[in-house]
């Protein structure tokens, strides 16, 4: 169920600012298919501009063209009134102050904050080589422009994800950035951390620096952005000030209609739990206790360091267990490896879809059935194709081609394939980690409906997610974790975004 959120113009909002970036009638064709068709975008100076669209709408193609990784077939890109050369290079864009920050941030975890910033800005030198005091001073100065206080000598790997994002933005500032393009910077952040990062972007706006924010989180757009451009099927279907739009308006622009989201339901109490966790501990969490009944969707949530993702991985045999007891359908359950979990009917959707969940070089059919069950007789390819087509249709995977290579699918459709694969095994327990991170609103609605339908048939679901909106929409009960232990359990009318946020902060 969606909420009609209308926002008033915020102090400092730039809706009619003079143009910094202009994209005019941009066109890009791949193999006869128009990825971009006569796209026009105007980004003002000091404007926080959201770029929205379903996976496969053309956002990635546009970003690649702006980064000069790809080149347009027609149209032009103008920066501060200057038409850029069609065969420009990434260096050309960097020299003009256009900087890109991707979801992985591009930081080196073992290097310090100052060293990561110097990787792009260069190392100040003196008579004896690198001047480390000057390197650290420049890092402090860049962070101070964001009102962020971090020790420049701390290794980046010891920082929170939100702090790492601040380092990436500071690194952009030392390159004299005028326009920063951020691709899903909050996809793996909990609400509080995302809010801190977006506040950092608002401070950049006050300094006259423009930002393009590629995101699927509509609440962030409505709360923090000035203007929004929506792509659908490679075309601009709307470009308007945020103050003129509601959440439902945005959804309708993105998918063409407002998809029906499943509503949270009350699960009847009583009967033995499907999963009983008692004083479980492992790397980054514990002791933790909770139950999951048949047909129940129980969320594990908290900020990035809460331990909920590590707990979910341990339940699926992908992480270590150091103590405690777990019962699955009344029998002891101690999966030390994923194979042991699978043998008990426990399926896992990992947070890292590409690295841990799917084989990008294989087809959709091969990913749906990676371990075909056979004994001495040949594999029945016709039956396998038929079953693959069934799951493709059930999850509305696009294109509906079981022989399509997974690497060619959009993120949302690839995630549908991953969730469909777990459903195809008729599991007893399904453990999902960040199942819709970076997934568009249409694919998200499909996945939610399938999870709710499966729960109605008795499937027990553990949903480990940092997306409080997702938990509010989908979970029957939420176990909020903080610093590795349970801070609060929420259900019914108490399960709200405000309560999830407060419990995560320890309130």
pLDDT tens per residue, range 311-329: 999 999 999 999 999 999 9
On whether the CB atoms of residues 406 and 363 are closer than 8 A, the answer is yes
At 421, the pLDDT band (50, 70, 90 cuts) reads very high
pLDDT exceeds cutoff 80 at 7? no
pTM to 2 decimal places? 0.74
Position with higher pLDDT, 249 vs 196: 249
Average pLDDT of span 293-307: 91
Closest to 56 measured CA to CA, from 76, 36, 73, 75: 36
pLDDT tens per residue, range 101-116: 887 788 999 999 999 9
Most confident segment among 295-309, 476-490, 492-506: 476-490
pLDDT exceeds cutoff 80 at 203? yes
> What pLDDT was estimated at residue 10?
45
Position with higher pLDDT, 11 vs 186: 186
Q: CA 339, CA 283: separation in Å to the nearest integer?
A: 20
**What SS3 class is residue 192?**
helix
Taking every pair of Cα atoms in the chain, the longest distance, rounded to a whole number of angstroms, is: 76
> What pLDDT was estimated at residue 2?
39
At 258, the pLDDT band (50, 70, 90 cuts) reads low
Task: State the DSSP code for 357.
Answer: I
Closest to 371 measured CA to CA, from 394, 338, 405, 412: 338
Most confident segment among 160-169, 307-316, 352-361: 307-316
Q: CATH topology of 21-255 equal to that of 275-505? A: yes
In terms of C-beta density within 10 A (0-12 exposed, 13-18 middle, 19 or more buried), how is residue 425 classed? middle
Closest to 234 measured CA to CA, from 454, 33, 411: 33
Average pLDDT of span 87-108: 88
Average pLDDT of span 201-216: 91
The share of the chain scoring above pLDDT 90, in percent, equals: 59
pLDDT tens per residue, range 10-44: 444 454 456 899 999 999 998 878 899 999 999 99
For residue 52, what are the β-bridge partners?
230
pLDDT exceeds cutoff 90 at 222? yes
At 265, the pLDDT band (50, 70, 90 cuts) reads low
Q: At what angle do helices 132-144 and 113-121 cross, to 10 degrees?
A: 90
pLDDT tens per residue, range 44-68: 999 999 999 987 789 989 999 999 9
On whether the CB atoms of residues 319 and 310 are closer than 8 A, the answer is yes
The first and second tokens of residue 15, run together, are 């809706």
Closest to 223 measured CA to CA, from 44, 41, 13, 53: 13
What is the fold, at CATH topology level, of the domain defined by 21-255? Rossmann fold (3.40.50)
Q: CA 388, CA 372: separation in Å to the nearest integer?
A: 12
- Lowest pLDDT segment from 62-71, 158-167, 252-261, 349-358: 252-261
Beta strands at 48-53 and 33-44: parallel, antiparallel or unpaired: unpaired
Contacts of 357 (CB under 8 A, 6+ apart): 349, 350, 418
Contacts of 66 (CB under 8 A, 6+ apart): 21, 23, 77, 93, 98, 100, 181, 212
The DSSP element (H or E) to which 82 belongs, if any, is strand 82-83
pLDDT exceeds cutoff 80 at 259? no
> What pLDDT was estimated at residue 5?
36
Query: Per-domain residue ranges for the chain?
Result: 21-255, 275-505
> What pLDDT was estimated at residue 371?
74
At 486, the pLDDT band (50, 70, 90 cuts) reads very high
Average pLDDT of span 468-483: 93
Average pLDDT of span 350-362: 90
The share of the chain scoring above pLDDT 70, in percent, equals: 92
Q: CA 126, CA 202: separation in Å to the nearest integer?
A: 36
Mean pLDDT value across the chain = 88
Average pLDDT of span 134-157: 90
CATH for 275-505 is 3.40.50.300
Closest to 111 measured CA to CA, from 103, 119, 120: 119
């Amino acid at each position: 169920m969606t909420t009609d959120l209308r926002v008033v113009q915020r102090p400092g909002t730039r809706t009619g600012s003079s143009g910094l970036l202009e994209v005019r009638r941009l066109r890009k064709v791949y193999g006869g298919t128009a990825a971009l068709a006569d796209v026009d975008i105007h980004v003002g100076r000091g404007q926080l501009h959201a770029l929205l669209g379903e996976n496969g709408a053309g956002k990635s193609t546009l970003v690649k063209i702006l980064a000069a990784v790809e080149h347009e077939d027609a149209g032009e890109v103008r920066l501060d009134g200057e038409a850029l050369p069609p065969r420009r290079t990434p260096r050309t864009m960097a020299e003009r102050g256009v900087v890109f920050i991707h979801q992985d941030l591009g930081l080196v975890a073992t290097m310090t904050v100052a060293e990561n910033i110097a990787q792009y800005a260069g190392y100040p030198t003196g008579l004896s080589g690198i001047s480390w005091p000057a390197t650290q001073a420049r890092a402090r100065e860049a962070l101070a422009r964001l009102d962020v206080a971090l020790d420049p000598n701390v290794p980046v790997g010891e920082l929170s994800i939100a702090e790492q994002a601040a380092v990436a933005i500071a690194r952009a500032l030392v390159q004299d950035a005028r326009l920063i393009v951020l691709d899903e910077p909050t996809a793996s952040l909990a609400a509080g951390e995302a809010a801190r990062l977006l506040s950092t972007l608002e401070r950049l706006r006050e300094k006259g620096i423009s930002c393009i924010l590629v995101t699927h989180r509509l609440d962030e757009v409505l709360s923090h952005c000035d203007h929004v451009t929506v792509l659908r099927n490679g075309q601009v279907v709307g470009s308007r000030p945020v103050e003129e739009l509601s959440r439902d308006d945005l959804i309708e622009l993105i998918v063409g209609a407002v998809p029906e989201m499943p509503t949270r339901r009350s699960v009847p109490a009583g009967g033995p739990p499907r999963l009983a966790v008692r004083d479980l501990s492992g790397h980054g969490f514990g002791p933790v206790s909770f139950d999951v009944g048949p047909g129940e969707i129980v969320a594990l949530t908290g900020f990035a360091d809460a331990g909920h993702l590590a707990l979910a991985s341990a339940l699926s045999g992908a992480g270590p267990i150091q103590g405690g007891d777990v019962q699955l359908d009344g029998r002891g359950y101690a999966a030390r490896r994923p194979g042991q979990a699978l043998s008990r009917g426990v399926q896992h959707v990992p947070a890292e879809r590409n690295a841990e969940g799917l084989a990008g070089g294989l087809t959709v059919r091969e990913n749906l059935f990676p371990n075909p069950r056979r004994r001495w007789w040949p594999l029945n390819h016709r039956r396998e194709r038929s079953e693959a087509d069934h799951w493709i249709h059930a999850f509305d995977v696009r294109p509906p081609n079981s022989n399509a290579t997974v690497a060619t699918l959009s993120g949302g459709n690839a995630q549908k394939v991953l969730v469909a694969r777990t459903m195809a095994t008729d599991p007893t327990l399904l453990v999902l980690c960040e199942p819709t991170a970076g997934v568009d609103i249409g694919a998200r609605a499909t996945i939610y409906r399938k999870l709710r339908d499966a729960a109605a048939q008795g499937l027990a679901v553990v949903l480990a997610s940092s997306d409080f909106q997702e938990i509010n929409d989908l979970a029957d009960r939420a176990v909020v974790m903080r610093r590795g232990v349970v801070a609060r359990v929420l259900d019914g009318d108490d399960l709200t975004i405000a309560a999830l946020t407060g419990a995560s902060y320890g309130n």
